[in-house]
């Protein structure tokens, strides 16, 4: 393995864990958070599209993140700085995943949340791609890779749901959701 690959992996791993980084924005307290209001409920029906169909629907970079489990470079997503009220949805199937009420600046360079809208929208699995195991999560509807969850987040959950920005789209409060795909 080349030295550059090892160094990049260690840097990416430490950035993903937020080592030495402190967020500048505090999350809303649970009593301050507004209820998620949307014209969409959790859709439990799995998506029936094939990987080839997803590849035709999505830009290459999004497809690579969502269905090849790649990671975008830190600090490249405009969603990292998105703090309007609204809902973050899966960029593949448009399933609502996160509320802006649970978003905070983790300092890692990726959009981060203290929790998903509810546990039914997320599937998790262990990821052993780095030296230590991590918990990877996917959209429960289309299986699109979103990111990793860590136990180093702020209260009230103590969790950091660290998401690839390209795996999400943002729907501002009051806007219509796109029709579910798949």
CA 144, chain centre distance (Å): 10
* Contact of 87 with 95, CB cutoff 8 Å: no
* Contact of 147 with 164, CB cutoff 8 Å: yes
Give which of 180, 171, 28, 181 is closest to 104, Cα–Cα.
28
Query: What is each CA distance from 32 to 150, 159, 164, in whole angstroms?
Result: 23, 18, 26
Give which of 147, 118, 149 is closest to 41, Cα–Cα.
118
Q: Of the listed 90, 93, 139, 162, which one is catalytic? A: 162
- Please confirm, yes or no, whether 162 is among the known catalytic residues: yes
Give which of 93, 103, 101 is closest to 140, Cα–Cα.
93
d(CA 19, CA 57): 36
d(CA 110, CA 151): 16
Instruction: Please confirm whether the linkage preceding 156 is cis (ω < 30° from 0).
Output: yes
Q: Annotated active-site positions, please?
A: 162
């Amino acid at each position: 393995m080349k030295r550059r690959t090892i160094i990049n992996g260690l840097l990416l791993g430490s950035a993903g864990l937020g080592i030495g980084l402190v967020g500048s924005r505090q999350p809303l307290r649970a009593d301050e958070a507004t209820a998620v209001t949307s014209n969409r409920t959790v859709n439990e029906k799995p998506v029936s599209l094939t990987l080839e169909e997803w590849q035709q629907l999505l830009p290459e970079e999004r497809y690579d993140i969502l269905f090849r489990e790649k990671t975008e470079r830190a600090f490249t997503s405009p969603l990292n700085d998105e703090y309007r009220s609204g809902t973050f949805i899966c960029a593949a199937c448009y399933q609502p995943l996160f509320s802006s009420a649970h978003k905070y600046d983790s300092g890692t360079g990726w959009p981060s949340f203290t929790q998903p809208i509810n546990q039914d929208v997320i599937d998790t699995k262990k990821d052993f791609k780095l030296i230590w195991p991590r918990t990877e999560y996917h959209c429960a509807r289309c299986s699109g890779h979103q990111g990793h969850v860590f136990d180093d987040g702020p209260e009230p959950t103590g969790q950091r749901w660290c998401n690839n920005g390209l795996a999400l789209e943002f729907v501002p409060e009051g806007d219509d959701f796109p029709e579910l795909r798949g």
